[in-house]
Structure 1
Amino acid sequence: MYTAYGPPDVLQVKEVEKPVPRDNEVLVKVRAASLNYGNLVLLKGEPLPARLAFGLFKPKYTIPGGDIAGKIEATGKEVQQFQPGEEVFADLSGSGWGGFAEYVCVPETALVHKPANLSFEEAAAVPMAAVTALQGLRNKGGIQPGQKVLIHGASGGVGTFAVQIAKAFGAEVTGVCSTRNVDILRSLGADHVIDYTKENLFHKKQEYDLILGVNGYQPMSVYKRALRPKGTFVHVGGSSVQLTQAMLLGPWISVTAKKKMGSMLQRANQKDLIYIKELAEADKVKPVIDRRYTLSEVAEAFRYFGEGHAQGKVVLTV
């Protein structure tokens, strides 16, 4: 829990009353949870515009945590899709957060049955990052089979899912990462891997139908040059400068250069998570977990995650 915005040290482990589900909610005994960029925003209250949703002067949601996996302990009287004892996973970012806890109440519409072939820790690593990748590639990027797709920042939480999802759509995928992550991307099925510490990918003459900017600091003009005519760039993460450019310059470039450029904000979506579950059960998507922490080590987990070098996901075991 925390009552003021700040660094990971503001987090404290406390005993609180066990929650009771409302009529349309399910009580989940949490077995694992994971960290995402949204958790950092929630913790720090930065960038400042985020406080309009999370609380202007102090946190509106005092228990952080979006991604969870666990077992249903009880259900409200109106719940129809789930029964006690079933294993589930969810993204709570659209329903009050609160996942970094032993128990949490979740609206029925936010839950999905856990993929049978994933552990609780693996399932907890999936929801927000995988759905972000899916929505960026499919909804905003309009990905099609045979397209050349570039994932910039391919070794993090969203990026590792984006590589796999793009391959599942039949695209030719190029991942951009540092030297230590090259083997990981190849193991995930990337057709080409560019080590940005050894070569400048934008000096190449290769052009792409779709570029997903997951993590980076390149200006919009650079991505524009790397796009094919009528190509698409989608910003889902990166520097604040890049986000501002995507929001302000993207629409202008889209009109004048006939190349679509813009940003996307992920939205928790049960149907999209079901789609990801099906990909996971078909062995087309599998989470990459970098480090595991216990719930009492949550501050340490935030400190490591905040460094920005995690390979895949950081998970909490509850």
Structure 2
Amino acid sequence: MQAVRAHCYGSVEVLALERVARPAPGDDELLVRVHAAGVNPLDWHYMQGKPYFMRFFSGIGRPEDARAGVDFAGTVEAVGRDVRRFKPGDAVFGGRSGAFAEYLVVKEGGTVAHKPAGMSFEEAAAIPVAAVTALQAVRDAGQVQSGQRVLVNGASGGVGTYAVQIAKALGADVTGVSSTRNLELVRALGADQVIDYTQADFTAGAERYDVIIDNVGNRPLRAYRRALEPDGILVMVTGPKADPWLGPISRVLWAKLSSPFVSQTQASLFADLNPQDLEVLRGMVEAGSLRSVIDQRYALARVPEAIAYLERGRTRGKNVVVVSAAGSSEP
């Protein structure tokens, strides 16, 4: 089969489309033919090996696992003898290392679920990392309740587009912050108010929010606290990338040090991909309260171009890699 591999750390030039052996499923695994794969900042971080502390887990001098990509949607080709929940022909989506490939294997108990009915493979492939992150940021770390005022900073990006919809589905009054060109998109996703960050600084205004979901990390912590209610919650999904050693972790550490001296809660989020939350998101899609926003589509051979585009920070929603023709339609 064809698969994208990275045998060393670096820029997009380290990504190569190779011919490798097609995997075979174990007793508790599914073999999935990948129709579409989502592109995430996570892919860029693993490609670069940055921030450097990541290399303690991914490999010091070079990646221990050369596979690339995580989000996938496809069709079950074969199952191991112990698999009960899935059968050949099932349309599935989930998260597994090696999604930038024609086939992958995933454990039945891993991060995999049946694809939402009525959703294309492309749209489903956009969900796992970004939407699970948004769900855990809004529901768990932010503890959003009906009637609360929630601000989503970076509302037009991958996590942001889902966070706006999830907060709205929970009954919140949602304000989305984005650039001028994306204001209408954020409104269309359900935001009650929008702020153009090129025209106004939400941390300098008089409005106060119960929860801020920060997907950008472009303001000091004290500025975010000014925009929060005294008992508000700041959820830090990402942070500045200037520190090559710790990256966003540096802001998380500073938040922990300052937390005893402030009334607001400063929560950092490292999403946990799991099948239970995929099922929650599947239910939201099928109920009509969640959808994917697709910006650019790329062929498997153009994965380096897809990640380079993501790195420029201009993506509206998600970019996807269409691995096979079925990626655009129902099976």
Q: TM-score range by the shorter chain?
A: over 0.9
Between Structure 1 and Structure 2, how many residues are aligned? 314
Deviation at 1:245, TM superposition (A): 5.2
Q: Aligned to 2:274, which of 269, 274, 279?
A: 269
Match of 1:114 in 2: 115
| Gap runs ≥5 in structure 1 | none
- Is 2:36 the counterpart of 1:35? no
Q: Which whole-Å CA distance do the structure 2 matches of 1:158 and 1:310 have between them?
A: 11
- Is 2:312 the counterpart of 1:304? no
Q: Which whole-Å CA distance do the structure 1 matches of 2:258 and 2:153 have between them?
A: 20
Partner SS state of residue 230, structure 1: strand
Q: Is the 8 A contact 2:68 2:100 kept in 1?
A: yes
Match of 2:207 in 1: 206
Deviation by residue 1:133-176 (Cα, 9 ceiling, x = unmatched): 01111111111111000101111000000000000110000000
- After TM superposition, the score normalised by the length of structure 2 is 0.93
Match of 1:226 in 2: 227
Q: Which whole-Å CA distance do the structure 1 matches of 2:253 and 2:301 have between them?
A: 41
Q: Which whole-Å CA distance do the structure 1 matches of 2:237 and 2:217 have between them?
A: 10
Match of 1:235 in 2: 236
Partner SS state of residue 90, structure 1: strand
Q: Which moved more, 1:196-205 or 1:113-122?
A: 196-205
- Is 2:20 the counterpart of 1:16? yes
- Is 2:175 the counterpart of 1:174? yes
User: Residues 1-318 of structure 1: matches in 2 within 5 Å?
Assistant: 1-92=5-96, 97-109=97-109, 110-240=111-241, 243-244=248-249, 246-318=251-323
Deviation at 1:243, TM superposition (A): 2.9
Deviation at 1:238, TM superposition (A): 3.0
| RMSD between superposed Cα atoms in Å | 1.2
Paired residue type of 1:260: T
Q: Which whole-Å CA distance do the structure 2 matches of 1:134 and 1:267 have between them?
A: 10
Q: Which moved more, 1:185-194 or 1:200-209?
A: 200-209
Deviation at 1:254, TM superposition (A): 3.1
Q: Which whole-Å CA distance do the structure 2 matches of 1:57 and 1:303 have between them?
A: 23
Kindly tell me: are residues 307 and 313 of structure 1, through their superposed partners in 2, closer, same or farther at Cα, counting changes over 3 Å?
same
Partner SS state of residue 248, structure 2: helix
Q: Which whole-Å CA distance do the structure 1 matches of 2:262 and 2:6 have between them?
A: 47
Partner SS state of residue 240, structure 1: coil
Between 1 and 2, higher relative CO (CA 8 Å, sep ≥ 6) is seen in 2
Partner SS state of residue 50, structure 1: helix
Paired residue type of 1:38: L
Q: Which whole-Å CA distance do the structure 2 matches of 1:105 and 1:53 have between them?
A: 22
Paired residue type of 2:159: V
| Gap runs ≥5 in structure 2 | 324-331
Paired residue type of 2:139: R
Q: Which whole-Å CA distance do the structure 2 matches of 1:244 and 1:113 have between them?
A: 34
Deviation at 1:199, TM superposition (A): 1.2
